[in-house]
């Protein structure tokens, strides 16, 4: 198979992998927030979120992660010169962190499937942004390669992460204020 076809397939499965990672956390958040609902809504919602999470996790996210890796190894096999490039070492480090993130999501998934809730919806929202930061880091790294100044790139990623965390806190305050206004009207 031509290198560009392998590269295209790698990119497609990276996109679907990240889509799965982003959406699985949303389902975790909905599952956790359903804990505060009255019965039978709580049971109905959590049962539905478990089913949706199971399908997403095992039909889209895990297969995409595996296929993205297979096509990545295939690209490295077809072009081993990549392994001598410093940006590739950094990219592979970010990919290793991405797999650790994926494994952490697997742990949360398994807990929620057993109705073990250890995280608040706020913590899960923050956790969701880790994948965003990894996505930005990997895409910029692959696109800019050696043209990027690593120190400024690292500073940019950290600043981006701080801005995301501030946005999450602002969202939490706005949401709490809206809920307080609703309760006040009742």
Q: Which residues are annotated as a binding site for heme?
A: 10, 91
Please tell me the number of Cα atoms within 13 Å of 68 on its side-chain side. Answer: 21
Q: Write out the binding residues.
A: 10, 91
Interatomic CA distance for residues 121 and 26, integer angstroms:
9
Residue 106 vs residues 56, 147, 173, 183: alpha-carbon distances, Å: 12, 35, 29, 36
105 CA to centre of own chain:
8
- Rounded Cα distance, 68 and 138, in Å: 14
Q: Measure the CA–CA gap between 61 and 20, rounded to whole angstroms.
A: 5
Tokens (6 digits) for 18: 């990240």
| Among the listed residues 59, 79, 77, the one whose alpha carbon sits nearest the alpha carbon of residue 19 | 59
CA angle 24, 30, 35 (to 5 degrees): 130
Evaluate whether 124 touches 28 at the Cβ level (below 8 Å).
yes
């Amino acid at each position: 198979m031509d290198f560009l076809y392998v590269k295209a397939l790698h990119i497609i499965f990276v996109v679907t992998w990240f889509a799965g990672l982003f959406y699985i956390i949303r389902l975790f958040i909905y599952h956790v927030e359903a804990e505060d609902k009255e019965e039978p809504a709580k049971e109905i919602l959590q049962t539905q979120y478990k089913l949706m999470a199971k399908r997403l996790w095992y039909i889209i996210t895990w297969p995409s992660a595996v296929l993205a890796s297979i096509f990545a190894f295939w690209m490295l096999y077809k072009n081993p010169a990549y392994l001598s490039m410093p940006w590739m070492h950094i990219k592979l480090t970010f990919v290793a962190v991405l797999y650790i993130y994926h494994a952490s999501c697997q742990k949360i998934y398994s807990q929620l499937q057993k109705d073990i809730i250890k995280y608040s919806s706020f913590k899960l929202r923050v956790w969701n942004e880790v994948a965003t930061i990894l996505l930005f880091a990997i895409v910029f790294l692959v696109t800019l390669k050696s043209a990027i100044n690593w120190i400024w790139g690292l500073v940019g990623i950290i600043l981006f992460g701080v801005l995301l965390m501030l946005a999450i806190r602002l969202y939490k305050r706005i949401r709490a204020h809206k809920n307080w206004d609703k309760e006040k009207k009742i």
